[in-house]
Structure 1
Amino acid sequence: MRETTAAHGDGDTGTLDEALERLHATGPEFEGWLSNHAPMAVEALVRHGQGARVHRWLDDYGDRLEELPGAYGRITSENWRDALGDARHLADWPVFFAERIGERPWRDVLAEWWPRLLPGITASATHPVIRVGHAVRALREGGETAPRLAELAHALGYWAARHQVLPRDVAPLPAPGAPGAALRAVPRVADPSGGINHRLGQITALPAWPGGLAGGPEAAEGHLRALVRDAVGHYAAHAHGNPVMLVHAATAPNAVLRVLPDLPVELWPAGVAAAWTASAGVVAAYRPDAPRPEPAEGARTGAGELFDRAAAHGDEHAIKLVDTALDVAAYAPETAARAYGAGLRAVELIAPLD
């Protein structure tokens, strides 16, 4: 299974739980459609030893957040299909999942709902699956506290409420033999204006996953690691296309990778296919006309220094991209310089938290 680069201490566990309790009174979105990134960012801050920053960071970020929306209608085991993808149920889906997690082990609930939710991996610019990835990592590494179980319910609920699939007639294009080359071969959408839903809706063809899914379930983790590694490298050279949105081409597949150890192995291959769709879809929506030279400073930067810079910078996307880059450096140390360069590019191009 995957290496970890840090672990929650007792004090940081308390900090994370306190932060999640604060956040569970807020909604998953603000200003109509922007995703609440705070649960993901505070989990990353705590995991990388920046727990002392969390509450002050929340004070700054939280000014933009809104209260949890009101209930629309109770979701049950009988009517959930009708409520899937219905944003009027943004407050109802977390209640549904909290009830399920209260009845059964959280991994059982996750395994039941993963294949139902996975086709909608691009929902809300992939933020729901990313939030699930952070929630699962916190539970696995830090223990099954009540706020962490509640966070998984909120994350799954957000995904269910915003569930959305790409157009079903997307044609597979021939793909080069490695994820990085395949990402470079992704065609840009014809009209790169408007929001991500408008852009994703234009996609008619994407390269097929390079090399297929050879090796069965046991190879899925390796496939995903290669995708995340190359997506982080792709960001280092292409982030200028949209430094915020292109973060998700790496963090979405990394969220799937984080969840794998807690899923039955027979569900792993579908995760690879969905992760590729998400990563390629984001690249199609926001790719620039040409790459730029990658930051040379990555070779002179250490992991601790890089995350310190991201934490001081404060933007939630920079924090999450650096968090993913550090994952890559841990399991593919030969690519650490490039991964750190991608993190530096995020800190350079994304506006810091105001």
Structure 2
Amino acid sequence: METTGTHTTDTTGVLDEALERLHSTGPERLGRLTNHAPMAVEALAAHGQARAVHRWLDRYAPKLEEFPAGLAPVTAGNRQEALGDPRRAADWIGHFGRELDGRPWQDVLAEWWPRLLPGMYGGSTHPVIRVGHAVRTLLADGDSGTAPGPRLTELAHGLGYWAARHRPVTGVAPLPGTDGATASAALDAVPRIDGQEGGLPDRLGQVARLPVWATSVTGPEAAYERLTELVLAATHRYATHGHGEETMLVHAATAPNAVLRTLPALPRDLWAAGLHAAWTASAAVTAMYAPAEAVVPAPPGRLTPEEVFERALAHGDEHVIKLTDTALDIPDELSLAAALRAVELSAPPHP
């Protein structure tokens, strides 16, 4: 294992082995729940926990389902009708597998990013999160094995899942007054939907108003800075508001962080669009699940970031691991408190 910044480069091959295990399984289970294992094992490897990858995966494996059957290949002629059709997940994954086998992965990503970005809300934002984990690994280590190796294959699975679950947010009225505010203030200004009942698709249809934020940002440097601010603000907000829904509110931070992690692999003229889509996603999740009142989080004390991640691993829940992974990108005191709050709020997975 080699350490790079706050993350660790996996030189053991364990991540590749885990991804190969997972690529015979589908992106979902029970028709609607996401397979979180590819994201969680990448986070474990990135934080120096390669020795725990297969053990964690063995416990998660009973939740996995076989890779779904395909219907028909995705082509230039039928891709528009196939976009957003979850029955076509295998078809889309196969499509991106072929694309990545013949072209540089950054070129494929750049071509499809503006097509997929408006629909990042499908699959509870998990597809873009899966892509973000795949891109982080490719940027750090490249691919391995035969072409395409397990890491490029993982990108194909993430992009294919995204295309199959593509769902735009429409009919949302802009609320003025927060465009120049901080990300934290803008999240505080998000109006909660009435009732907050039902699953994400039902709640998403009730999101009628969202604050305008950072719409004037068009340059890449400013987009990167504002997106970093948003990730930090959403992570901090979990520490004070995560009790509203301990699982779903994780995505208010992890979805924009997936976009942030992907930006360095994209042409700079695509960065601002990523910021704007990430804001809508984070704000929508906040509207759907935020509680009426905040709490004061307990400080992390003298725990180091590594010790906080070890607590997340000991807990074992995939959302706890992924939020902690995001928190450790900027591990200040409130980010670490957010990770520990997720450990506190979330029920441990069944043995």
Task: Give the structure-2-normalised TM-score.
Answer: 0.95
Structure 2: which amino acid aligns with 1:5?
T
Residue 178 of structure 1 pairs with residue 182 of structure 2: yes
Q: Give distance in 1, aligned partners of 2:60 and 2:165.
A: 23
Shift of 1:7: 2.5
Aligned to 1:138: 137
Please tell me whether the aligned partners of residues 246 and 346 of structure 2 are also in contact (alpha carbons under 8 angstroms): yes
**Secondary structure at 2:157 match in 1:** helix
1:17-166 alignment to 2 at 5 Å? 17-145=16-144, 146-166=149-169
Provide the aligned length of Structure 1 versus Structure 2. Answer: 342
**What is residue 6 of structure 1 aligned with on the other side?**
7
Partner of 1:197: 201
**Residue aligning to 2:249:** 246
Residue 351 of structure 1 pairs with residue 347 of structure 2: yes
Instruction: Measure the CA separation in 2 of the matches of 1:252 and 1:188.
Output: 19
Q: CA deviation at 1:215?
A: 6.2
2:281 corresponding residue in structure 1: 278
Q: Contact 1:173–1:205 (CA<8 Å) still a contact in 2?
A: no
Gapped regions of structure 1 (runs ≥ 5): 330-335
Measured against aligned partners, the alpha-carbon deviations of 1:124-182 in whole angstroms (never above 9, x if no partner) come to: 11000000000000111122120000000000000000000112343333216101111
Structure 2 CA distance for aligned equivalents of residues 213 and 253 of structure 1: 18
Q: Mean Cα displacement is larger for which, 178-187 or 246-255? A: 178-187
Report if aligned partners of 1:213, 1:269 keep a CA contact under 8 Å in 2. no
Separation (CA, whole Å) in 1 of partners of 2:24 and 2:220: 39
> 1:185-213 deviations in whole A, cap 9, x for unaligned?
1111113111011111111110111x433
Indicate if the aligned counterparts of 2:218 and 2:272 stay in contact, CA closer than 8 A: no
Percent of pairs identical after alignment? 55
Q: Is the 8 A contact 1:228 1:328 kept in 2?
A: no
Q: Tell me the SS of whatever aligns to 2:239.
A: helix
Q: What's 1:317 paired with?
A: 319
Partner of 2:294: 291
Q: CA deviation at 1:32?
A: 1.6
CA distance in 1, matches of 2:216, 2:42: 31
Partner of 1:333: none
Contact 2:106 2:265 in 1 (8 A): yes
Query: 243, 253, 256: which one pairs with 2:259?
Result: 256
AA of the residue aligned to 1:353: P
Letter in 1 for 2:315: H
Q: What CA deviation, in whole Å up to 9, does each residue of 1:34-85 have, x standing for no partner?
A: 0000000000001101111111111111101110111111101222111000
Amino acid at match of 1:327: D
Do 1:250 and 1:279's aligned partners in 2 also have CA atoms closer than 8 Å?
A: yes
- The one-letter code matched in structure 2 to 1:234 is R
Q: Does 1:340 align with 2:339?
A: no
Q: State whether residues 299 and 340 of structure 1, in contact with CA within 8 Å, keep that contact through their aligned partners in structure 2.
A: no
Q: Which amino acid is the alignment partner of residue 194 of structure 2?
A: A
Question: CA RMSD for the aligned pairs?
Answer: 1.2
CA contact (8 A) 1:36 1:65 kept: yes
> Aligned partner of 1:180: which letter?
S
Distance in 1 between residues matched to 2:309 and 2:105, nearest whole Å: 30
Q: Deviations over 1:275-318 (max 9, x none)?
A: 0000000000001010011122x242211100111111110000
Instruction: Please tell me whether the aligned partners of residues 172 and 210 of structure 2 are also in contact (alpha carbons under 8 angstroms).
Output: no
SS at match of 1:10: coil
In structure 1, give the amino acid aligned to 2:309: F
Scaled by the length of structure 1, the TM-score of the pair is: 0.94
Greater share of residues in helix: 1
Do the aligned residues in 1 keep the contact of 2:15 with 2:50 (CA within 8 Å)? yes
1:177 aligned partner, one-letter code: A
Contact 2:24-2:66 within 8 A present in 1 as well? yes
Q: Which residue of 2 aligns with 1:265?
A: 268
